[in-house]
Structure 1
Amino acid sequence: MLAAAGALVGGIAAYSYGKGAWPIWLAIAATAAIMGLLAYAIERLVLRHLVNQEGIILFMATLGIAYFLDGFGQTLWGSDIYKINLGLPKDPLFLFEGVFPGGLLVDPGELVAAAIAAGLVVVLAIFFQKTRVGRALRAVADDHAAAQSVGIPLNTIWLIVWTVSGLVALAAGLIWGAKLGVQFSISLIALKALPVLILGGFTSVPGAIVGGLIIGAGEKLSEVFLAPILVKQFDLAGGGIENWFAYMLALVFLLFRPQGLFGERIIERV
C-alpha cells in the first residue's frame, strides 16, 4: 500500500512537471528525486522510530502513511484521472495467427511493462546477491540484532531500503499511469502483491516471481474457462472472477501451506 501510494504521487508529479515544456526524461528524473526525498522523509520521521517493533505495528504505520499520501494527493491535484504519455506503443499486436484462429491479441505496452519489470527483478537480484550493501540489507532483514553486532549501521540500511522502495514505486506508478491513467484507485493494485507473496513465500524472491506468474495466468484462465461453467451450472451472471481468484488461492495456501511454495517453515522453540 505504501509503495502504491508513493507510486501514485510519483505518477501525478511526473504528469504535473511534464505537461508543460519539460521533456519526459527530465520530468521522470525530477520525480525520481522527489520520490527519493519522500522515501527518506518517511524513513527518518516515522519508520526509524519503529525499528524492532512488532510486524503488525509496522504494517499499520505504513498503511496509515499510504492513506495519508492518498488523501493528500487528492488535496493537491484533485480526483481527476491524469494521462501520462511515455511514448509506449499503443496499437495492438496479433501474434501466432498461424497457430490460433485469429491469433493472440497482445498489448505492446504490456510487453514493455513486463520487460521493465523483468529488468528490475534482475537488477535487484544482482544488487542483493552480489553487492556488499545488498548482503547487508539481507542480513538486517534476517536479524537486526545480529547485523548490528557485526557493525552494520541500521539507520543507513533503512534509508537505503526506503529510497530503493520509493524509486521502484515510481517505476510502477509510471507504468500503470501510462496504461490506465494516474488515478487514486491505482493504490488498490498493490493489494494483489499480498496473494503473490503468500503463494510464493515471504522469504523467497523466486517464489514471488513464480507466484505472480501463477496468479496472473490463473486469473485469465479462470475467467475464460471457469466463468462459463459457473454460468451454465448455477445460472450465475458470471464475470468478476479476476477480482477474487487470487485471494481465494491465497486463503487456501494460508490454511494448508502457510509458508508458501518456496518459503521457509518457521518453527518457534519454547
Structure 2
Amino acid sequence: MGFFLETLLGGLMAGMLYSLVALGFVLIFKASGVFNFAQGAMVLFAALAMARFAQWIPQWTGIANPVFANVAAFLVAGLIMFAVAWAIEFLVLRQLVNQEGATLLMATLGIAYFLEGLGQTLFGNSIYKIDIGMPKDPVIAFDKVFEGGILVNQEDLIAALISAVLVALLSLFFQKTATGRALRAVADDHQAAQSVGIPLNRIWVIVWCVAGVVALVAGMIWGSKLGVQFSLATVALRALPVVILGGLTSVPGAIIGGLVIGVGEKLSEVYIGPLVGGGIEIWFAYVLALAFLLVRPQGLFGEKIIDRV
C-alpha cells in the first residue's frame, strides 16, 4: 500500500506541473481562439531570462545574496514576458484579426521559432542553472504508518504546491475580478463582448501577459529540475494531451487533465510497464488523448460545439 501511495503521490505532483504548462494553452485559446504553439518557446525564453539575470544582477550590483538575485531576476524576467506578450499581440495578433484558424496557428509557430532564436541570441545557448533554494534530497514520510514509509521528493512537492497556489490565484482572478469577468465574456462571445464596450485588444494583451507569467513560473520550476536548455521547449508537448483530455476551453479541465495524465503515466509505468517491456510513460498520455479525440473530442470539460446548417 505504501508503494502504491508513493507512486500515486509522484503522479499527482508531476500532473500539477503538466497542468501549469497546459494553463498557458487554455488561457490564450479561451480569450482569442488561438492555439498557441509558442507556449513551449515562452517557457524556454522565460527560463533563460531568469537564469541569466540571476547570474548578471549580482555582477552588476555587487550584491551576492542569492535570494535578492532570484527575486530581482524573477521580476525582470516578468517584465520581459509582459513586453513579449504586448509585442506578440500588437505586431502579430492585431494584424490577423478574423483570419482563418490555420493562419493564426502558423503565426504562433513562427513566434515559437523566433523566440527560440532570440533567446539564443540574447542569453546564449549553454545549459544554465536556476537555483531557487528548493531542496533536492527526498525524504521518508509516514514511516510509522507504512512499512518502510513513503519516499517523497521535496523538490517535486514544493513545485506542485507552487503550481497549486498559482492555479488557485488564477481561478480567483477569473471569478472575482472585473477584468476576469471581462476575460470570460470575451471567451464566450467576442462580438457580444465588444458590443457592451469590452476592448478586445486590451483583453488579449492581458491574457498573453498572464500566459507569460504562467510560462515564467513553469520555466522557473522546470529549469530548477532539469536545467535551462533548449530541449525545455518540448515540455509543452507533454501538456498537449492534458489540454485535449481536459478541454481547450476549461481551466479546471487543465488541472484535472494534468492530474489524470500524471497519475496514469506513473501507475501504468510501474504496474503495466514490466509486463510489456517498459516505456509506457513515454506514450501513455498521447494514446489516452487519442482515445478521447475519438469518443469525446471536446475533452472532459470542454464546450461541445454544434454547427447548424
Q: Same fold (TM over 0.5)?
A: yes
Q: How does 1:191-206 map to 2 (within 5 A)?
A: 191-206=237-252
Q: How far apart, in 1, do the equivalents of 2:308 and 2:165 lie? A: 40
**Structure 2 stretches lacking a partner, 5+ long:** 1-36, 64-68
User: Separation in 2 of the partners of 1:24 and 1:256?
Assistant: 46
Contact 1:52-1:144 at 8 Å conserved across structures: no
After superposition, give the CA deviation of every residue in 1:181-223 in whole Å (9 maximum; x if it has no partner). 1111111111122211111122322222111111000000111
In 2, the alpha carbon distance for the partners of 1:106 and 1:128 equals: 33
Q: Deviations 1:119-160 (Å, cap 9, x if unpaired)? A: 111111111111111111111122111111111111111111
Regions of 4+ moved over 4 Å: none
| Whole-Å separation in 1 of the counterparts to 2:155 and 2:192 | 44
C-alpha contact (below 8 Å) 1:48/1:158 kept by paired residues = no
Aligned to 2:220: 174
What whole-Å deviation, never above 9, does each CA across 1:99-123 have from its counterpart, x for those lacking one? 4443322221111111111111111
- 2:235 and 2:53 map into 1 onto residues whose CA distance is 24
Judge which range, 193-202 or 242-251, deviates more.
193-202
Q: Which one scores higher on RCO, CA 8 angstroms, separation ≥ 6?
A: 2
- Tell me what 1:6 maps to: 42
1-structure distance, mates of 2:256, 2:81 = 29
Distance in 2 of aligned mates of 1:110 and 1:93:
11
Q: TM-score under structure 1 normalisation?
A: 0.92
Moved more, 189-198 or 47-56: 47-56
Identity %: 63
Q: Is the 8 A contact 1:202 1:260 kept in 2?
A: yes
Task: Say if 1:204 and 1:262, in contact at 8 Å, map to a contact too.
Answer: yes
Q: Select the residue among 267, 275, 282 that pairs with 1:221.
A: 267
Shift of 1:96: 2.6
Which of 284, 287, 302 is the aligned partner of 1:245?
284
Distance in 2, matches of 1:173 and 1:207, equals: 21
Which residue does 1:48 correspond to in 2? 94
Counting only pairs closer than 5 Å after superposition, residues 1-270 of structure 1 correspond to structure 2 as: 1-20=37-56, 21=58, 23-231=69-277, 238=278, 240-270=279-309
C-alpha contact (below 8 Å) 1:36/1:166 kept by paired residues: yes
Q: Secondary structure at the match of 1:264?
A: coil
The 2-side partners of 1:16 and 1:151 are apart by: 42
Deviation at 1:166, TM superposition (A): 1.0
Q: Is the 8 A contact 2:52 2:128 kept in 1?
A: no
User: Whole-Å Cα distance in 1 between the matches of residues 86 and 268 of structure 2?
Assistant: 41
- Equivalent residue of 2:203, what SS? helix
Counterparts of 1:148 and 1:62 in 2: how far apart (Å)?
Answer: 24
Amino acid paired to 1:260: G
CA distance in structure 1 between the partners assigned to 2:269 and 2:102 by the alignment: 34
Secondary structure at 2:151's aligned position in 1? Answer: strand
Query: 3-state SS of the aligned residue for 2:272?
Result: helix
Distance 2:52 2:247 in 1: 38
Q: Distance in 1 between matches of 2:165 and 2:97?
A: 31
Deviation at residue 258 of structure 1 after TM alignment: 1.0
CA contact (8 A) 1:9 1:69 kept: yes
Give the TM-score normalised by structure 2.
0.81
Shift of 1:77: 3.4
Counterpart of 1:227 in structure 2: which amino acid? Answer: G
Shift of 1:14: 1.5
Measured against aligned partners, the alpha-carbon deviations of 1:165-192 in whole angstroms (never above 9, x if no partner) come to: 1111111111111111111111111112
Q: Which residue identity lines up with residue 110 of structure 1 in the other structure?
A: D
Work out the number of aligned pairs and report it. 263
After TM superposition, the structure 1 stretch with the greater mean CA deviation from structure 2, 91-100 or 60-69, is 91-100
